[in-house]
Amino acid sequence: MQNKEEQIIRSEYSEIMQKSYIDYAMSVIISRALPDVRDGLKPVQRRTLYDMYELGIRYDRPYRKCARIVGDTMGKYHPHGDSSIYEALVVMAQDFKKGLPLVDGHGNFGSIEGDGAAAMRYTEARLQKITQEAFLADLDKDVVNFQPNFDETEKEPEVLPVRLPNLLVNGADGIAVGMVTSIPPHNLAEVIDATIATIKNGELTTRELMKYVQGPDFPTGGIVVNKDDLAEMYETGVGKIRMRGRVEVEQAKGGRENLVISEIPYTMIGANIGKFLNDIASLVESRKATDIVDISNQSSKDGIRIVLELRKGADTANLINMLYKKTRLEDTFGVNMLAVCDGRPETMGLKKIIESHIDFQFEVNTRKYRTLLKKETEKREIQEGLIKACDVIDLIIEILRGSASQPQAKECLVNGVTDGIKFRSRASKKQAAELRFTEAQATAILEMRLYRLIGLEIAALQKEHDITMKNIARYEDLLNNYDSMAKLIIRELEAVKKEYGKPRKTVVENGEEAVYEEKKIEEMEVVFLMDRFGYARTIDVPTYERNKETADAESRYVISCMNTDKICVFTDTGSQHLIKVLDAPFGKFRDKGRPIDNFCNYSSAAEAIVAVESLQKIKMSLLIFATEAGMVKQVEGSEFDVAKRTIAATKLQEGDRLLSVRCMGEAETAVFRTVNGMCLRIPIGEIPLKKKGAIGVRGIRLNAGDKVEAMYYPDSEHDKTIFYGEKEVHLDRLKIAGRDTKGTKIRN
């Protein structure tokens, strides 16, 4: 055998990567993430609906298990995870996400409050009536192209012949590679009115179309408050929608009032309802919403109902504005009307989307009536042949009786060939030679049953032929006359609107900016208490004075401060966490308090508290930092007055931990004590002033394997005497040495 020469193709690696990534990105964009402007569906939605149609799961038939639908869709059309198919199926059945649900779900399909749907083996589904009538009708009439599935064993439609602008009605959201689509849902009746108006007058501008389409219509209702911004959004396809929930004031017993939230912004669907309730609770706990005495979520299948019970004489208007400002009761919906148009992603405005749908409707109906015209033309040919045959039936019977075979008889009927056929007379033979039926007519005559010769059957055939001729004339008129086709499409749209149109849920207006006056906090001196478990609370000074001994014994940190102050928490990782004193619950002495994890970024699992002090005191002091590795520094306290809730209070070497943070008091010396019993007393004046981002300098020279265990600052009141093991050590008697020395050994 002759060896073939190896052919090495050299290519730039970056070019291969670029091409591969572009191919991948376009695959995600076109085949996964973005809807098609023609039917408003993503591939997974289109395939799921088509599979249900193929399985015969119609609106007037029994429900079928979702597991069957998902499995069949995945095996035939969508070779991806079953979770993505089931999630798409669930969303199409949720009336709080879709303005026009396309699937009729039976079982637990989740809730507006974020509860997930039951597993697919428990739930059932079938098509909605409108899905069958307006999304999947006429697929047998060659109205759309079909393409091979992923393994070329099945055929699937490239797009569904949807009769209404579903991209606008149901909206869409999806994340592709480098692009995002976010289209809000709209009112079915309004969108159909705008489509009909565009068919009648293609010169309408976007602003003129907005006479029909007021704005988005979310299934959760609510209020759109930036009406004037919508025109630009619909013109460019990009913008923001400001939404508010609907708040009503109800009269309660005792002359009090309740705030009832009956509609929520669309963006609050799911877990955000729970977050909204937590935000209100936080406002109450921080005493910003003192007029709220109780919060209850009374939502049910009938709709949203969140009740806020108020104190007597509460300022309801101010409170409503506060909810808009401080919670997600007012939120923003980002709009980017991106969809696949002519095989490529494009951001489109309202007019372009409607025009694209109209073009698609004309294309679908043209293909439909061409197919119907072809069938009717073929039917006419057969009918005319049978009618003609009835007029010469005796001759045809004579031909059939005199023929030796069917092909011989057919040749006579089509071409008048009489050779080999026995006739009763020359006149019959001459008449047979003049026959000129078409191939299709001859076949129909040969297959015709004798009962068709009954007088009534012949009359019915003539009547059927008349109907066929009328159909042909109608179809030719539709195909050749734009106005006729336009009227047909308009009639179909009006029929959909009449049966499925619903009143608008979302109000569109120009709302005023929510302005509320924050109640001025009455400044007062309090005592901040935190126990060894990290539970913190504040009490007033008289309460502390009455329970001073118990408070000091039970609390790890006791700090006198103003209620407008902040508390600095330093941890062994070198972090500083800021806590607003107002965030800590204020109450009775025996109240437990709340973990500081709830109102700052401190994590008890990842770090340990080293020091806690009020920011007001820190700002007026110098802070001394000391680490286990013996590093020390002084820092101006003003550096820790920051807006961020968490900052790096100091820089640490690898493996080092912050050991001590102390406000400078009257002490003139600092004492290091190590694990192995070494003590070093140095003048505080030798500790240099550094920035908080510095590591510091070495305060004590440590022996191998040793580390600093404690820091002391002996002054007139504190830290004069300590115990190391059983030995009592008088710190003020230790010899003062220089910084960066080893110190002396404490002997037991």
Query: What is residue 19's predicted lDDT score, i.e. its pLDDT?
Result: 75
State the CATH number of the domain containing residue 68: 3.90.199.10
Q: What percent of the chain has pLDDT over 90?
A: 59
pLDDT category of residue 716 using cuts at 50, 70 and 90: low
For residues 399 and 492, membership in a common domain is answered with yes
Is the predicted pLDDT of residue 4 greater than 60, yes or no? no
- 718: in domain: yes
Annotation says 122 is catalytic: yes
Number of domains in the chain: 4
Task: Among 483, 499, 515, give the residue marking a domain's end.
Answer: 499
Of the candidates 475, 480, 496, the one whose C-alpha atom is nearest the C-alpha of residue 196 is 496
Q: What is the pLDDT of residues 196-234, one digit of tens each?
A: 999 999 999 999 999 999 999 999 999 999 999 999 999
- 312: in domain: yes
pLDDT category of residue 1 using cuts at 50, 70 and 90: very low
State the CATH number of the domain containing residue 280: 3.30.1360.40
For residues 483 and 529, membership in a common domain is answered with no
Distances (CA, A) of 256 to 260, 287, 551: 13, 20, 39
For residues 587 and 663, membership in a common domain is answered with yes
For residues 384 and 449, membership in a common domain is answered with yes
- 4: in domain: no
Q: Which of 50, 122, 212, 544 is catalytic?
A: 122
- 240: in domain: no
> Can you tell me the mean pLDDT for 630-644?
93
Q: Give dist(CA 155, CA 643) in Å, integer.
A: 61
Contacts made by residues 374-378, CB under 8 angstroms, sequence distance 24+:
376/468, 376/471, 376/472, 376/475, 377/472, 378/440
For residues 601 and 729, membership in a common domain is answered with yes
- 199: in domain: no
Helix, strand, or coil here: 259?
strand
For residues 429 and 471, membership in a common domain is answered with yes
For residues 544 and 476, membership in a common domain is answered with no
Task: Among 499, 514, 538, give the residue marking a domain's end.
Answer: 499
For residues 494 and 533, membership in a common domain is answered with no
Q: What is the pLDDT of residues 649-699, one digit of tens each?
A: 999 999 999 999 999 887 888 999 999 989 999 999 999 999 999 999 999
For residues 52 and 136, membership in a common domain is answered with yes
Of the candidates 137, 186, 147, the one whose C-alpha atom is nearest the C-alpha of residue 361 is 137
Is the predicted pLDDT of residue 748 greater than 70, yes or no? no
Q: What percent of the chain has pLDDT over 70?
A: 95
Helix, strand, or coil here: 579?
strand
How does the average pLDDT of the chain come out, rounded? 89
pTM of the model: 0.75
For residues 441 and 547, membership in a common domain is answered with no
Tokens of 2: 């002759």
- 146: in domain: yes
For residues 58 and 126, membership in a common domain is answered with yes
Task: Answer whether 335's CB lies under 8 Å from 238's CB.
Answer: yes
State the Cα torsion 516-517-519-521 to the nearest 10°: 110
For residues 132 and 281, membership in a common domain is answered with no
> Can you tell me the mean pLDDT for 624-647?
93
- 11: in domain: no
- 171: in domain: no
Q: Which domain holds residue 150?
A: 41-159
Q: What is the pLDDT of residues 399-430, one digit of tens each?
A: 888 888 888 888 888 888 888 888 888 888 88
pLDDT category of residue 613 using cuts at 50, 70 and 90: very high
Q: Which residue has the higher pLDDT, 636 or 387?
A: 636
Contacts of 109 (CB under 8 A, 6+ apart): 90, 93, 94, 117, 118, 123
